[in-house]
Amino acid sequence: MAASYTTRSSSHPRSNKLLFRQLFEKESSTYTYLLADLSHPDKPALLIDPVDKMVERDLSLVKELGLKLIYAMNTHVHADHVTGSGLIKNKIPGVKSIISKASNSQADLLIKAGDKICFGDLFLEVRATPGHTLGCVTYVTGDGPDQPQPRMAFTGDALLIRGCGRTDFQGGSSLQLYKSVHSQIFTLPKDTLLFPAHDYKGFTVSTVEEEMLYNPRLTKEEEAFKNIMENLKLPYPKMIDIAVPANMVCGLQDVSAKPVEATSN
């Protein structure tokens, strides 16, 4: 059964108001996303794909905006930078790190497809999108009248703007990635906003409809996509031997702590 990770919310109804910030780390061209429920008294917030070198910037912004950071989340085990999750946990007691159980890495909460990550009265739905790595997930804002519209999907490296993540390491599979994107992302409403973990050409956002029409790889048939991915001839990632071992323990994670797995509703 799917699990729901929640924060305490007041019982009286109110309108929700999403705070959203897209942040950038230029060395690895990584996007970090800050989301918060401003209508909740605590202004609970979460960070998606924080980078260790930018933790001070991120936490300064959280403080300036008067938010209460509760989660530091990753879409997958990154190979091009060290996650900021561990540093954030050390600096703000009570923050929980999140990553997929399928990644076989360390975090406070190990999530799987169908889980909900709640912050105030807003939530993110977890969709499994392996293929770039075994443990990739996409976080999608909730579906409902009290949730942000249009919906937003944080796709990690599974789907990039007019591209996708490579599939030649960390248990990657081009056919699995193709199936993941087409079944878990392209089935979202066409106006869903897509926010990737990286961009190398200056783009910041796309939509499901745009990528279904214009993505030069994922608009191809499955076999053609596989052939493209097998012939990219990309260099060995320069940070992989440092980043992956660190990210398997969420940066500076306390490896003695026992992670919490999904529990049945």
pLDDT digit string (tens) for the chain, length 265 residues = 667 665 444 433 333 599 999 999 999 999 999 999 999 999 999 999 999 999 999 999 999 999 999 999 999 898 888 999 999 999 999 999 999 999 999 999 999 999 999 999 999 999 999 999 999 999 999 999 999 999 999 999 999 999 999 999 888 999 999 999 999 999 999 999 999 999 999 999 999 999 999 999 999 999 999 999 999 988 888 888 889 888 888 776 443 444 455 433 3
Which residues lie closer than 8 Å to 224 by C-beta, 6 or more apart? none
Q: Do 128 and 100 meet the contact criterion of CB atoms below 8 Å apart? A: yes
User: In the structure encoding, which two tokens stand for residue 73, read together?
Assistant: 């989340």
Q: 3-240, superfamily in CATH?
A: Ribonuclease Z/Hydroxyacylglutathione hydrolase-like (3.60.15.10)
Domain ranges in the chain?
3-240
Sign of the dihedral through C-alpha 59, 93, 113, 169: positive
Residue 21 contacts residue 32 (beta carbons within 8 Å): no
Give the pTM.
0.89
Residue 255: predicted pLDDT: 39
Q: Residue 171 has which token pair?
A: 């248990």
The end-to-end CA distance of the chain, in Å, is 7
pLDDT given at position 261: 54
Do residues 134 and 170 touch, judged by C-beta distance below 8 A?
yes
Residue 250: its pLDDT value, please? 73
**What is the token pair recorded at 91?**
């600096």
Torsion over CA: 224, 237, 197, 44 (sign): positive
